[in-house]
């Protein structure tokens, strides 16, 4: 099996509107329908946000459907190929020069293989980076660098400010599994055997935000694929994702992504 190396900025499709900011390269890649790439690996690590269409990602023993609204991280030297690109497939990419990363003591060597971003903070930061990319104004380079560093810091197992007790991971798992439900604090208390006061007091300390903020991040992140690939109206999406009304959903979406839902859907 012949394996190719894709150098900086090279993908199986055609790049448009590249933006370079020091060791960071942002681009948009368009793919022809039914494109099949060679087996390859990338010289540098990068993130990809699937905007339209999608493809099937093939590894040696597994394959993954890459769908609109989902985001992925690729480390270097991970061999894969893509096939079955859909009509109008389009990705937003942000690629990092390895030497630039080393200059800031950022080591991503431990992360090998494609990683579907399931952390809502990662998904929302990548969406903010896409927004900065679309703006293309004088303030974007600084914003791009700041957001990129924040995104890189969340890859792998994020370091919490202090060692967290086991129940914190349990709560995160419950909230991510039941993200569209209105779970009560008493219910969490009953499941975990932890007093509601202790949960309320210490959750922000270990997670960095309140319960409400964390749940809203999850719900907005889950709405990204719906905006990119479903015909649902904003009202339907807002209800589907657990918001009381469209107005609340739209305000929260813009606050967390810097896009309006309609602008993100059409971008």
Q: What one-character-per-residue DSSP string does 139-196 give? A: THHHHHHHHHHHHHHTSSSPPPSSPPPHHHHHHHHHHHHTTTS---HHHHHHHHT--H
pTM of the model: 0.84
Percent of the chain with pLDDT over 70: 94
pLDDT for residue 158: 45
| Distance of alpha carbon 204 from alpha carbon 132, whole angstroms | 29
Residue closest to 6 by CA, chosen among 110, 102, 78:
78
> Could you tell me which residue, 91 or 77, shows the higher pLDDT?
91
Burial 120-142 (b: 16+ CB within 10 A, else e): bbbbbbbbbbbbbbbeeeeebee
Mean pLDDT over 150-167 rounds to 69
Cα dihedral value 40, 46, 49, 50, nearest 10: -10
Residue with tokens 């809502």: 120
Q: What angle do CA 9, 10, 15 make, to 5 degrees?
A: 75
> Could you tell me which residue, 108 or 73, shows the higher pLDDT?
73
pLDDT for residue 226: 96
pLDDT over threshold 50, residue 129 = yes
Cβ(153)–Cβ(36) below 8 Å: no
> Could you tell me which residue, 141 or 106, shows the higher pLDDT?
141
> Considering only 75-89, 95-109, 151-165, 223-237, which range has the smallest mean pLDDT?
151-165
pLDDT for residue 105: 73
């Amino acid at each position: 099996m012949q394996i190719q190396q894709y150098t900086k900025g090279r993908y199986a499709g055609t790049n448009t509107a590249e933006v370079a900011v020091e060791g960071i390269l942002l681009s948009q890649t368009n793919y022809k329908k039914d494109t099949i790439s060679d087996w390859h690996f990338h010289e540098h690590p990068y993130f990809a946000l699937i905007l339209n269409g999608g493809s099937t990602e093939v590894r040696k023993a597994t394959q993954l459907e890459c769908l609109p609204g989902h985001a992925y991280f690729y480390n270097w030297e991970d061999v894969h190929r893509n096939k079955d690109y859909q009509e109008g497939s389009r990705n937003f990419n942000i690629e990092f020069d390895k030497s630039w990363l080393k200059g800031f003591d950022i080591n991503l060597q431990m992360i090998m293989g494609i990683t579907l971003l399931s952390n809502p903070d990662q998904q929302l930061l990548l969406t903010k980076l896409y927004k900065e990319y679309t703006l293309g104004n004088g303030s974007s380079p600084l914003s791009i660098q700041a957001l990129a560093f924040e995104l890189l810091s969340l890859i792998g197992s994020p370091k919490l400010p202090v060692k967290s007790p086991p129940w914190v991971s349990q709560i995160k798992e419950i909230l991510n599994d039941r993200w569209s439900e209105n779970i009560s604090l008493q219910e969490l208390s009953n499941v975990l055997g932890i007093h509601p006061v202790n949960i309320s007091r210490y959750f922000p300390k270990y997670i960095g935000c309140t319960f409400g903020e964390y749940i809203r991040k999850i719900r907005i992140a889950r709405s990204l694929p719906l905006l990119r690939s479903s015909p649902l109206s904003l009202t339907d999406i807002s209800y589907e994702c657990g918001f009381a009304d469209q107005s609340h959903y739209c305000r929260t979406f813009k606050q967390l992504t810097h896009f309006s839902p309609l602008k993100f859907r059409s971008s």
